[in-house]
Structure 1
């Protein structure tokens, strides 16, 4: 009977018993785990040696006075001084004269005075403080060293020195374990080749890499870098910079969302929203990628690349797939540069616009040469040919040379156009205004004189000759005359033959004309019937084609 009662009780409460047994097992395992853990002891500061020790239990029972060749230890840290006070109750030390702290064989700290809090493991050293970790030395008059975090920091000016650099700042900290130092306020990194000044800087004493965390300037004999965020390797002298950093060299400023710069190799690369501004010659390259070599003077811009000339009151904007600046005989009296733009070149200025496949500007003769179907618009005038050369004088147009299949067209209305064609054409400018045009070889002219009173068309004059000179004023033809043999016919407006409205080479290309500085990015090709006819003259070779031929050879 008794056994049945016990069985029923156990059956009825078996889940409860199971829970109690599990709980007991967990508590047992937990107790075993705690027993296996080492007990965290609060170690005390131990006296290892002193020439003399004194104590007054009546006046200061917790203080021990040590004099002469004092040696103390707290865990793995050894402390030396001329004299010291040990505060037993708070486990702390006050040390005086020739203070030295040693931890292992890599960390040494010197000073004239030390207060060491053994509970917090914090050392506070004052006057003539030096913290030495292998090849790195930190000097200051006030240093706190936290043994728990293995971190030393100063707050009233200090200097950190290693094999490569000397760093000074108002506030700084150094970790012997990570070899990382952080500096704030009036930071200066001095290197034999450059000086870096900053508001906030992080520096790795092993890799010699400086991390820029605030407004910073890096100045050398050759250039100047400004950045607010990035890294600079003081050994390899390579920089990776962000946040619209600026590289300045001999009047040229390279700016981008991010920059890479190699001081030894002398080149920089900029990415996204790039500007390379030449403040001396007053021109600029922009794009989403730019390369500049300060040792050769060469530069390259791509990805929405634009060359901007702002030397005159009105800026000229020129776009191509690639913009390349090549410098010859750098740093000599015979130095000159070539600006090469290719392909799908489009240019805009308020008074002049242009389109071609490729273009070269040579500073040696101040000549800009347009290759492959070039078209130039000047006000209401359209000029084109197989090749166009524009010669500059102090950044203004001096004269232009249109070579082979030269054609100039001026629109009067949707039906009538003044037209001149010839083998070649030369246009001369005064003060930026076209004043004279000479046309040579198989010259054909269609010209509409206008009534001065109401500017209505009077008649059409069709002429042929060998050489024509036209004089212009206020961007309109004032007079024109053939030199040598010529013949012509005047047609009343209502009697013009249908085949006389257009010269054989006539094309009107207003649909590809750049409308503004933003429209230079919108390439519009010529219609198939507007392409120049093949000429017997030797074909013009573009810079791209010449480059390809050199590679093939």
Structure 2
């Protein structure tokens, strides 16, 4: 009787253990579906079954294949080896050489030659843990994901098959036929093939280098949104801003807030609160506090306008730069203002339209149109067209003045040394002897040439119908000391670079011609 009681007690304990392993509340056990050969032995351990040949397990909706396995029934886990193939929901396929699966936590650990396939997405690594319950696969010792034309590699990676989202960390490299992307952390959406930039990221291609610390890059359509310290660097141009929308196919980059465009070839910088640049056509635009900066030797020209544009000149590598409305500029030795400006880089001619006024070489120059001619980065000629007027103060006595229909000023070593006047030439100047003014000379001629040295008139050549007189300044009435149309606009001259943003309105020049039609023609105005 004693032995019989002991036998029934052992049977009860065995069944109790099986119930504990299989029927605990909320627990689903791993089921063996097939094996060519199965063996239970003490050498494998207590409650351990060894399975060999075409082994197949099922847990929930997950099917697991392998060559051989050890099933720990009490612990609801298994160790599988050879030809590992896990099928999840008939859509996710996992391959490898070794599998450790815990049924209570729904975690599969796959090792050696690991491959996860989800539709057209393939993940490859040597060490992968797959949390079936939370639907996330993660590697921690290097891996990559192949998606479309992209290969994404990193040290650490997380892939969510249900949402088709992948997270990459540390030494991230994205390889695309058109570029390479380097980052320390980013997110990739496999369905749309969009990269979410979440840290310092560089994109390198033959055309340019792109950098951002936040934003998105659509790898299917090659469209990017760059945020936080974003910039694009080409062979000759550098573009940055708070937010940049960039289309690689068209080369178009649109900037919102703090636009900065640098042209290293022409030594030009354009800034503004909004603008765009096309790296293929070389077109550029900036508005809202738009500024053009041109570096000249050791000095910089600062020019502001409501709108700045740069357009390519056909069949050349050069551009035409246009400034529209409220143009104002400053350089230590050169200041000016006008309504609109056109700068042709082919011949370095700068044209100023609609009541332009320039201050340079001690003179105030105005006309309907003013053109500056540059050679070898040095100004050598200025042309004043229609209603030309040049004024220079002569101590406290008055103003030296030159007026005519058309003027050409010749410049050498940044000094005006000759002015040729064509049509209705008039002049007032104060000749000196031993630096003492000896009178006021008023002369008129249809055509004349004025010679200057150190900003002082040294001679006048009256070429046609000359007339003139010299009188003591004290005997000349105030009105006679000024030619008709005289305007002294010193109060409107920008005296520092910050003044280019002051929108004031000087007195309008009488008889001014409107040249608006020139400004919106893509071709340079006729000369």
TM beyond 0.5: yes
Supply the distance in 2 between the matched residues of 1:125 and 1:173 (Cα, whole angstroms).
14
Matches within 5 A, 1:382-531: 382-413=364-395, 416-450=398-432, 452=434, 457-474=437-454, 476-477=455-456, 479-485=458-464, 486-527=466-507, 531=508
Of residues 190, 195, 215 in structure 2, which corresponds to 1:230?
A: 215
Question: Paired residue for 2:263?
Answer: 278
SS in 1 for 2:500: helix
Matches within 5 A, 1:268-347: 268-329=253-314, 332=315, 334-347=316-329
Query: Is 1:204 aligned with 2:183?
Result: no
Of residues 493, 498, 518 in structure 2, which corresponds to 1:543?
A: 518
CA contact (8 A) 2:148 2:193 kept: no
Question: Paired residue for 2:231?
Answer: 246
CA contact (8 A) 1:283 1:311 kept: no
CA-atom RMSD in angstroms: 2.0
Supply the distance in 2 between the matched residues of 1:111 and 1:394 (Cα, whole angstroms).
70
Supply the distance in 2 between the matched residues of 1:60 and 1:400 (Cα, whole angstroms).
101
Supply the distance in 1 between the matched residues of 2:75 and 2:414 (Cα, whole angstroms).
88
Task: In structure 2, list runs of 5 or more residues that go unmatched.
Answer: 1-23, 523-527
Cα deviation, residue 482, structure 1: 1.1
Counterparts in 2 of 1:362 and 1:58: CA distance versus 1, 3 Å: closer
Query: Is 1:44 aligned with 2:29?
Result: yes
Measured against aligned partners, the alpha-carbon deviations of 1:138-157 in whole angstroms (never above 9, x if no partner) come to: 00111111111110011111
Supply the distance in 1 between the matched residues of 2:516 and 2:32 (Cα, whole angstroms).
91
Cα deviation, residue 361, structure 1: 1.0
CA contact (8 A) 2:125 2:143 kept: yes
Between 1:112-121 and 1:147-156, the stretch displaced more is 112-121
More strand by share: 2
CA contact (8 A) 1:281 1:311 kept: no
Counterparts in 2 of 1:542 and 1:417: CA distance versus 1, 3 Å: farther
CA contact (8 A) 1:371 1:542 kept: no
Measured against aligned partners, the alpha-carbon deviations of 1:9-55 in whole angstroms (never above 9, x if no partner) come to: xxxxxxxxxxxxxxxxxxxxxxxxxxxxxx95211122211222222
Query: Is 1:534 aligned with 2:511?
Result: yes
Supply the distance in 1 between the matched residues of 2:182 and 2:95 (Cα, whole angstroms).
28
Counterparts in 2 of 1:376 and 1:57: CA distance versus 1, 3 Å: same
CA contact (8 A) 2:44 2:50 kept: no
Query: Following TM superposition, where does structure 1 have runs of at least 4 consecutive aligned residues deviating by more than 6 angstroms?
Result: none
SS in 2 for 1:303: strand
Counterparts in 2 of 1:421 and 1:132: CA distance versus 1, 3 Å: same
Cα deviation, residue 497, structure 1: 2.8
Supply the distance in 1 between the matched residues of 2:233 and 2:404 (Cα, whole angstroms).
48
Matches within 5 A, 1:162-241: 162-241=147-226
Supply the distance in 1 between the matched residues of 2:403 and 2:500 (Cα, whole angstroms).
27
SS in 2 for 1:518: helix
Supply the distance in 2 between the matched residues of 1:56 and 1:134 (Cα, whole angstroms).
41
Cα deviation, residue 542, structure 1: 4.5
Supply the distance in 1 between the matched residues of 2:476 and 2:317 (Cα, whole angstroms).
57
CA contact (8 A) 1:85 1:93 kept: yes
CA contact (8 A) 2:97 2:110 kept: yes
Supply the distance in 2 between the matched residues of 1:498 and 1:77 (Cα, whole angstroms).
104
Aligned length: 498
Supply the distance in 2 between the matched residues of 1:308 and 1:384 (Cα, whole angstroms).
23
Supply the distance in 2 between the matched residues of 1:498 and 1:83 (Cα, whole angstroms).
114
Query: Is 1:62 aligned with 2:47?
Result: yes
Question: Paired residue for 1:21?
Answer: none
Counterparts in 2 of 1:393 and 1:305: CA distance versus 1, 3 Å: same
Supply the distance in 2 between the matched residues of 1:240 and 1:546 (Cα, whole angstroms).
33
SS in 1 for 2:221: coil
SS in 2 for 1:125: strand
Between 1:457-466 and 1:262-271, the stretch displaced more is 457-466
Task: In structure 1, list runs of 5 or more residues that go unmatched.
Answer: 1-38, 548-553
SS in 2 for 1:320: strand
TM-score, with length taken from structure 2:
0.90
SS in 1 for 2:126: strand
Counterparts in 2 of 1:282 and 1:335: CA distance versus 1, 3 Å: closer
